[in-house]
Amino acid sequence: MQRSETCPTPNWSQSVENAEWLNAQQHVTKTEWSAVLGEKNDGDFVLPQKLKIPKFSSPESGKIDEETNRYVEMVCTKLRNIKPLLLKAHRTQNNLSKEQRKSFSKLAKSREERQILICRSHKDGKIAILYYNDYDAIMTREL
């Protein structure tokens, strides 16, 4: 019996989850029927069309051998727990160094405490960092 490895999709949405469950159901159904019908060769087993109904075409549980039952349970368990593993594995990495992250957090803290103001410059659109008192003086003078 040939068992394929699954490759999860990084972008996990409800439609992807439904498609993965449908693929798993089809794989499980094919595995169970190939075990019952004795077709344990290299994956050449073709499931008859009338057995392809996903939820209603499972063979009797007494006819399935223990190895196949364990394999089916393992596939279903892996798929049930795959979303948190997938999200953890594909978490975005921070591209800043440790010193840059510290500097950035200091800037954010100073901005929250209203010590500095971060804005765009008037003519070229670049970022300007001003002390809040200087900004108040400029605004008072301009208005």
Q: Is residue 56 part of a domain?
A: yes
Q: Is residue 71 part of a domain?
A: yes
Residue 100 banded pLDDT, cuts 50, 70, 90: very high
What's the pLDDT score for residue 55?
Answer: 57
- Same domain as 130, residue 65: no
Residue 88, pLDDT > 70, answer yes
- Same domain as 138, residue 71: no
- Same domain as 105, residue 78: no
Q: Where are the alpha helices (DSSP H) in 37-112?
A: 66-80, 82-89, 98-112
Q: Which pTM was predicted? A: 0.44
Q: Is residue 79 part of a domain?
A: yes
Q: Which domain holds residue 55?
A: 14-89
Q: Is residue 9 part of a domain?
A: no
Q: Report the Cα 66 to chain-centroid distance in Å.
A: 32
Question: Higher-confidence residue: 67 or 86?
Answer: 67
- Give the residue-averaged pLDDT of 7-24: 70
